[in-house]
Structure 1
Amino acid sequence: MTRSKRKATDSPPVSPTDDDQTANDVEPASDAPIDTAHPARKRANLSSPSSEGLAQLPLQVLEPLLPLQKQHCLHTLVGHLPPISAEPAPPIASTSTLASAGDDDDDDGAVFDDPPSRSTADDRTRFEAAACVGLEDDWHTLHAMLSATVTAQESNSCLLIGASGSGKSLLVDSVLDSICKRHVAHSKPYYHVHLAGTVQINDRSAMKEMAQQLILQGAFTEQDVGDAIDAPSLDDDDDTTPAPAAGADHVFGGDADDDDDDDGEAAHAAQLAAAAAADEAEIQDELAGAILSSLNNIIANIIALLSNTASTSASNSTAATGGGRKPLIITLDDFDLFTARPRQAMLYCLLDAVQAASYGAGLAVVGVTSRVDTVDLLEKRVKSRFSHRILHVRPPASFDVFERIVRNALSPLPPSTPSLSTIPTAHTHAFTQAWQHEVHTLLAHPHVHDVLRGIYELSNDMRMVYRILTPTLCRLSLLDPALDATTLLETAALEVGDGTLHVLRDLTEPELALLIAIKHLQTRDRAVFNFEMCFDELARFAARDARERHAASSDPSAGLAGSAVATPFFADRKIALMSFHSLLALELVLPENSIASLSIANPVAKPSAATGGNTGRTNQATIRKEFWKVRCVLAPTTIVNAVKDRHRPIAISSSLVKWASSHG
Structure 2
Amino acid sequence: MGVNDTNEKIHMNIEAIRKILKQKILRPISVLRGYSKERLHVFDLMTRTVNVGESNSALLIGPRGCGKTTLVNDVLNELERDSAFNHKALVVHLNGLIHTDDRLSLKDMTRQMKLENVVQDKVFGSFSENLTFLLESLRSGEKGTSKATLIILDEFDLFCNHRNQTLLYNLFDVSQSAQAPICVLGITSRLDVTELLEKRVRSRFSHRQILLLPEGGDANSFTSIASDLLSLPKNSLKCPGDKKIIQTWNDSIKSLLSNVEVASILRQLMDISKNERILRNFLMCMTSHLGDKHHMLEEGDFIRTAKLFIGVDSKIQMLEGLSILELCLVISMKHLNEIYDKEPFNFEMVFAQYKKFISKQSTVQGVEKHIALCAFETLQRLEFIQPAAKGSMKIKFSSGFDKAYQKEFQLFYFLATSDQVMDAVRNYKDLPTEVSQWASSCLI
What is the TM-score of this pair, normalised by structure 2?
A: 0.58
Alignment CA distance shift 1:186-1:138 (3 Å): closer
- Compute the displacement of 1:479 (Å): 8.3
- Write the letter of the residue equivalent to 2:160: T
Sequence identity of aligned pairs in percent?
A: 29
Q: Name the SS for the 2:219 alignment partner.
A: helix
Distance of 2:164 and 2:194 partners within structure 1: 15
The structure with more radius of gyration: 1
Q: Deviations over 1:435-479 (max 9, x none)?
A: 543333333344443433333223333222211112333555698
Distance 2:159 2:270 in 1: 32
Which residue of 166, 175, 182 maps to 2:75? 175
Of 253, 274, 283 in structure 2, the residue corresponding to residue 439 of structure 1 is 253
Instruction: Give secondary structure in 2 for the equivalent of 1:201.
Output: coil
Q: Tell me whether 1:471 sits opposite 2:370 in the alignment.
A: no
- Name the residue aligned to 1:297: 129
Mapping 1:528-543, distance limit 5 Å:
none
Unmatched tracts of structure 1, length 5 or more: 1-50, 83-130, 234-293, 311-321, 499-664
Give the partner amino acid of 1:340.
N
- Separation of aligned partners in 2, 1:133 and 1:365: 24
SS at match of 1:329: strand
The residue identity in structure 1 corresponding to 2:61 is I
Match of 2:54 among 151, 154, 176: 154
Inter-partner Cα distance in structure 1 for 2:12 and 2:46: 42
The equivalent of 1:366 in structure 2 is 185
Contact kept in structure 1, 2:38 and 2:212, CA below 8 Å:
yes
Matched, 1:210 2:109: yes
What is residue 214 of structure 2 aligned with on the other side? 395
1:165–1:462 Cα contact (<8 Å) kept: yes
Q: Answer whether contact 2:223 2:263 (CA < 8 A) is retained.
A: no
Aligned residue for 1:205, secondary structure, equals helix
**For the residues of structure 1 that align with 2:89 and 2:214, how far apart are their CA atoms?**
29
Task: Name 1:353's counterpart in structure 2.
Answer: 174
Match of 1:96 in 2: none
Superposition map of 1:142-291 within 5 A: 142-180=42-80, 182-184=81-83, 190-214=89-113, 219-220=114-115, 222-227=116-121
> Displacement, 1:354?
1.5
Q: Deviations over 1:550-579 (max 9, x none)?
A: xxxxxxxxxxxxxxxxxxxxxxxxxxxxxx
* 1:600-615 pair list within 5 angstroms: none
Mapped contact 2:153–2:185 kept (Cα < 8 A):
yes
1:449 aligns with 2:236: no
In 1: Cα distance, 2:133 partner to 2:68 partner: 31
Change in 2 beyond 3 A, CA 1:420/1:443: closer
Residue 334 of structure 1, CA deviation: 1.6
- Map Cα deviations across residues 250-288 of structure 1 (whole Å, 9 max, x no partner): xxxxxxxxxxxxxxxxxxxxxxxxxxxxxxxxxxxxxxx
* TM-score after normalising by structure 1: 0.40
CA shift digits 1:24-48 (9 cap, x unpaired): xxxxxxxxxxxxxxxxxxxxxxxxx
Give the secondary structure class of the aligned counterpart of 1:198: coil
8 Å CA contact 2:35, 2:212 repeated in 1: yes
When residues 484 and 175 of structure 1 are mapped into structure 2, their CA distance, relative to the original with a 3 A threshold, is farther
Rounded to whole Å, the distance in 2 between the matches of 1:80 and 1:443 is 23
In 2 relative to 1, CA 227–70 (structure 1 residues): closer, same or farther, beyond 3 Å? same
The Cα of 1:355 is off from its aligned counterpart by 2.0
Alpha-carbon distance between aligned partners in 2 of 1:369 and 1:143, rounded to the nearest angstrom: 18
Instruction: Tell me how far apart the structure 2 counterparts of residues 188 and 434 of structure 1 sit (CA, whole Å).
Output: 49
Q: Cα 1:461–1:422, aligned 2, differ >3 Å: closer, same or farther?
A: closer
Say whether residues 1:132 and 2:32 are aligned partners.
Answer: yes
Please tell me the residue identity of whatever aligns with 2:111. Q
- Aligned partners of 2:237 and 2:51: how far apart in 1? 34
Q: Which residue of 2 aligns with 1:636?
A: none
Partners of 1:56 and 1:328 in 2: CA distance: 55
Aligned partners of 1:153, 1:421: CA distance in 2, in Å? 49
Letter in 2 for 1:331: I
CA distance in 2 between partners of 1:438 and 1:188 (Å): 49
Kindly indicate whether the alpha-carbon contact (under 8 Å) linking 1:410 and 1:439 is maintained by their aligned counterparts in 2.
Answer: no
Q: CA-atom RMSD, angstroms?
A: 4.1
Quote the Cα distance in structure 1 between the aligned partners of 2:121 and 2:167. 19
